[in-house]
Amino acid sequence: MAERTAIIGSRVGLHARPAAIFAEAAGELPVEVTIALETEPAEDALDASSILSLMGLGAEYGTKVVLRAEGEGAEEALDQLVKILEIDHDSE
């Protein structure tokens, strides 16, 4: 099991636009990735490719979230996703 902790970099939190970018990227990966707030147990983790789950997390700017994946390519996949979470998409 690969695991990464990321800090939300979007000023307004993981709202529609950053969530869309992230969900789309997660959906294109060869492995299934889950996301959970750092404060929540792994079994409550949600599908990272679901935009509605991401928005429902209520993750704000600076919130720590944990990404998890298993299998071949998991490490690379998570590295890629962490980068997306930590960018402030609203400053583009």
Residues that bind another protein (CB under 8 A): 12-13, 15-17, 19-20, 23-24, 46-47, 49-53, 55-56, 58
What is the token pair recorded at 18?
């950053």
Residue 1 identity: M
Q: How many other CB atoms are found less than 10 A from the CB of residue 43?
A: 7
Selected catalytic residue, list 12, 15, 20, 82 = 15
Residue 27 C-beta: closest distance to another protein, Å: 8
CB 9 within 8 A of CB 87: yes
- Whether 89 is a known active-site residue: answer no
Cβ-based nearer residue to another protein, 17 or 75: 17
